[in-house]
Amino acid sequence: MTLPQKPIVNLGIFVADAAFRAPRMPRMGETILGNGFHLGPGGKGSNQAVASAMAGGRSHLITRLGDDDFAAMARDIWARAGVQPEVTVDGESFTGAAMIFLEAETGNNAIIVTPGAASRITPADVEARRALIESAAIFITQLEQPIPAAQRGLEIARAAGVTTILNPAPAAPLPDAMLALCDYITPNESEAEALTGLPVTTIDEAKTAAAALLAKGVGAVVITLGGQGALYHDRNQTLHCPALSAGKVIDTTGAGDAFNGGFAVALSEGMPIARALRFATATAGISVTRQGTAGAMPTRAEIEAML
């Protein structure tokens, strides 16, 4: 008999991504011509929830939306991907948006995100989903919504023995008490630098920064390193998982979200850590060959084919 799959519960934001492709960023006061534009679903929490659903997870997203056209965009991508929404509709605010600059030559990005209604997510919103979080295999959150809400989610999950993942993006100072609630923390290079004050440009430097995070009480650290793959470090082992290429890089936006969404699915299925890292790396590797963020997440079949 197959046991029913436990959910992956994500707390995070949805926004509409407005992505502009151009040779370079404009300087202040300057207008430049771009050569591409894409409007689509984004927000780290929503992207990760979509990635998890597409990769075969039973994915729920706790969030807040306005009552507007961008909220309809959110519900559309969740319905298509199979994400179960746990939404508070906030008619006094608006569904947020992100301005994404895409460097034409490299596909690299720079982002301004305004979370709108999701900036009003409260610990009470999270408390209202206590039973769902307690029933989960994985609780995962980021730092685009208010930190007290993320901390409450981590506390509920930890008390119930649910595996916790914090993707500390965008970087923000965090109390050690919050870090100690994390079974896994998944910063990229710049977020690891911000959390530790240490440089993270090489794999050896990533290991040193990961050790500093372990000393703050985190269970295990996964530093995503773009083209250098990912570095895993816990109290017993260190693993380096090289990046997997699935073709020409078109758009790196959301690669970290693909990684986190895939990683959550792999952990929820009990994969050994080395395989979980490869599963997550393949999810990210495929996502960067496509335009957009949530809309670029691969199916389980595509991930399995790559592996």
Stretch of residues binding ligand RIB (CB under 6 A), selected from 41-49, 63-71, 123-131, 184-192:
41-49
Task: Establish if 10 lies at the interface with ligand RIB (CB under 6 A).
Answer: no
Choose the binding region for ligand RIB from 23-31, 39-47, 121-129, 296-304 (rule: CB under 6 A): 39-47
Q: Using the rule CB under 6 A, is 111 a contact of ligand RIB?
A: yes
CB-nearer residue toward ligand RIB: 156 or 165: 165
Going from the C-alpha of 274 to that of each of 88, 231, 239, 280, the distances in angstroms are: 37, 11, 7, 10
CA 235 to chain centre: 24
Locate 306 and state its tokens: 């790559």
Site for ligand RIB in 51-90 (CB under 6 A): none
Distance CA 67, CA 56 (A): 29
Phi, psi at 166, each rounded to 5°: -115, 120
Q: Residue 230: name the closest of 253, 246, 207, 199 by CA.
A: 207
Residue with token string 């998944």: 186
| Interface residue with ligand RIB, options 138, 218, 293, 296 (CB under 6 A) | 293
- Looking at the Cβ atoms of 43 and 57, the one nearer to ligand RIB is 43
Residues in the chain, how many? 307
- Written as six digits, the tokens of 131 are 């039973």
52 in Cβ contact with 8 (< 8 Å): yes
257 catalytic? Reply is yes
Which residue in the set 11, 15, 65, 137 belongs to the binding site for ligand RIB (CB under 6 A)? 15
**Residue 284 binding ligand RIB, by CB under 6 A:** no
**Interaction mask 143-162, ligand RIB, x per CB under 6 A:** -x------------------
Among 54, 61, 74, 113, binds ligand RIB (CB under 6 A): 113
Q: DSSP letters along 233-299, please?
A: E-SS-EEEE-----S-----TTHHHHHHHHHHHHHHTT--HHHHHHHHHHHHHHHTTSSSSGGGPPP
256 binds ligand RIB per the rule CB under 6 A? yes
Member of 8, 11, 42, 138 binding ligand RIB (CB under 6 A): 42
Q: Count other C-beta atoms under 10 Å from residue 209's C-beta.
A: 25
Minimum CB separation of residue 256 from ligand RIB in Å reads: 6
107: contact with ligand RIB by CB under 6 A:
no
Q: Should residue 262 be labelled a site residue for ligand RIB when binding is judged by CB under 6 A?
A: no
Closer of 63 and 253 to ligand RIB (Cβ): 253
Binding footprint of ligand RIB, residue count (CB under 6 A): 15
Give the binding range for ligand RIB (CB under 6 A) out of 60-68, 73-81, 159-167, 251-259: 251-259
Q: Which is nearer to ligand RIB, 44 or 129 (CB)?
A: 44
Mark out the alpha helices in 129-182 (DSSP H runs). 130-134, 147-159, 176-179
Question: Least distance (Å) from ligand RIB to the CB of residue 274?
Answer: 25
If one counts every other C-beta atom within 10 angstroms of the C-beta of residue 239, the result is: 14
Q: Please, what sign has the CA dihedral across residues 198, 256, 99, 174?
A: negative
Residues annotated as catalytic are 257
Residues near ligand RIB (CB under 6 A) are: 15, 17, 42-44, 47, 98, 111, 113, 144, 253-254, 256-257, 293
